Amino acid sequence: MNCKWARLGLVVSACAGKRRRAAAAALAVALSLCAGAAIAQNATNGRILYNTPLVVNEKSCGAGSCHGPDPLQRQNRIQNGDTPGGIGLAISRVSQMAFLRGNTTGAQLADLAAYIADPASASGPVASLSTPSLSFAPTVVGASSAAQAITLTNTGNLAMAIGAVSASNTDFSITSNTCASTLAAAASCVISVAFTPKQGGARSGEISVLHDAPGSPSTVVLEGSGIGVGTLAISVPALSFPGYSIGQASTRERAILTNVGGSPVSLASFSELPSSFLLRGSSCVVGLSLAPGASCEIGVVFVPRSVGDTRARLVIGHSGQSGITELALEGRGVALPADTRLMVEYFFAPLGYYFITSRSNEQEGIDTLPAFADFERTGETFLVYATQSVGSEGIARFYFDQIARNRTRGSHFYTLIPGEKQGLIGLNPSNQFLPRVPFYEGIDSYAQLPNGSGASASCPAGLQPIYRLFRGNVRFPDDPNHRFTPNRNLYLSFVAAGWDDEGIAFCVPQ
């Protein structure tokens, strides 16, 4: 066999034993050939080797960026590989070919050299794939990636029969396939593959192409990573509030949102609710991100504004699967006793301020409007009369603006006593809204005066007493405020805390 040392830039003395360390592997092959070792040369098999990646995730010799599909084009000096020794030397010296070191046999080099030296001597079809593998970007579970293409080329000189083209894993799908049953010599067809992970984590598979060329089936390794989808589950489908009086707040009911999926979910929106349903004490808020396994709470209070059933649906928008989660709400309003209204107490925590009102429009506004977000119901309520009747007096309401906390807070005062009413009105006869003088806000509702006064005061039979407390300037400088309550234990606890004991202020229906 002609070793063609001159073309390779080697000297014959290399066969006699003088070796360069960097070319040891190539010279070993060359020595065996020079010594007369009989290695069969098969150009047809060489063509298959030329067009097939010999190492996973690496290119074939025939790749466009290497030597190209046709050795006769002499791309990147492929003509120097027309002997096994020439190929071995290139493998030992060319850094781009280093991945082949230790991964080829003498027989393979001989077949490759035979094909490179005379491509026309190879006969039959040859299946060549454009890539040994496809890698897909991380994709959300259930979603589909952009399709990637695999080109199958018949680099042989005879037509190639093509059989089944299949994916080994349902995470990968063949979205299109232009490969017919026969592929002519030098022709190509395209198989497109998409990644649709069924679960999170690393996913892998393989595209397999059956054909009648050597090396069938031809395969392409597929890899991708599934991103688990965030999914919200709600602990109950509905909250029910049966039988609450008009204006009366229910006990707080709750539902739990839990992310049972594999990626975080951000809460984006909460639908507007009728004023009868109030979100209270909820840790589920817009902008909250729930990690997998994390939960938050939705708290709902029902305050009926009218008699009968009220229904609503809270719709929570989020970034998880389905995009929304719904919670059904239902409550029933019950009529108050005839000719009565409900007095409700609120507390404004930032300024330590108690306030009562029986006016339904004020209750609804304080309960629902953002401007009153810092007002909270204390849970203290009592009935008052809606209209004046024999023995009842109007509960007059006065407001003192800038009366407390260095003029940063006002305070309300309520009284049934005619003399107190007239005295306060006399301090501001034109009823102008001015700092630190009583502004008359009209009659809130009606109640009866107690029998007697002070510690001996009592209410007529069938009526309950409402106690009045005052946070006075002696113990609480610059922080005046009245509080009214039917709860005697609460009343006594505030007296013990230093509030002034003003006894029974008025008597109301039980």
> 401 near 420, Cβ under 8 Å?
no
**DSSP E strand stretches across 250-292:** 253-259, 265-270, 277-279, 289-290
| pLDDT tens profile 304-341 | 999 999 999 999 999 988 899 999 999 999 999 999 99
Distance CA 355, CA 399 (A): 11
* Bridge pairing between strands 133-135 and 172-177: unpaired
Share of the chain above pLDDT 90, in %: 74
Mean pLDDT of the chain: 89
Q: Which pLDDT does position 3 carry in this prediction?
A: 38
| pLDDT tens profile 124-144 | 898 999 999 999 999 988 889
| 357 pLDDT above the threshold of 50 | yes
| 257 pLDDT above the threshold of 80 | yes
Q: Which pLDDT does position 122 carry in this prediction?
A: 82
Span 233-254, mean pLDDT?
96
Q: Which pLDDT does position 24 carry in this prediction?
A: 40
| pLDDT tens profile 155-205 | 888 999 999 999 999 999 999 999 999 999 999 999 999 999 988 889 999
* pLDDT bracket for residue 40 (50, 70, 90): low
> 315 near 331, Cβ under 8 Å?
no
Which secondary structure element, helix H or strand E, spans residue 423, and what is its range?
helix 418-426
> 241 near 214, Cβ under 8 Å?
no
Local structure of 150: helix, strand or coil: strand
Distance CA 360, CA 110 (A): 98
| 25 pLDDT above the threshold of 50 | no
**309: nearest Cα among 334, 281, 327, 338:** 334
Alpha carbons within 13 angstroms on the beta-carbon side of residue 345 total 19
Distance CA 344, CA 363 (A): 8
| pLDDT tens profile 232-242 | 999 999 999 99
* Bridge pairing between strands 340-348 and 308-318: unpaired
Tokens 């007529």 belong to 460
| 29 pLDDT above the threshold of 80 | no
Local structure of 312: helix, strand or coil: strand
Q: Which pLDDT does position 10 carry in this prediction?
A: 28
pLDDT-wise least confident of 5-14, 291-300, 317-326, 485-494: 5-14
Q: Which pLDDT does position 447 carry in this prediction?
A: 98
Distance CA 161, CA 163 (A): 7
* pLDDT bracket for residue 36 (50, 70, 90): very low
Predicted TM-score (pTM) of the model is 0.60
Q: Which pLDDT does position 201 carry in this prediction?
A: 86
pLDDT-wise least confident of 54-58, 265-269, 274-278, 389-393: 54-58
| 59 pLDDT above the threshold of 70 | yes
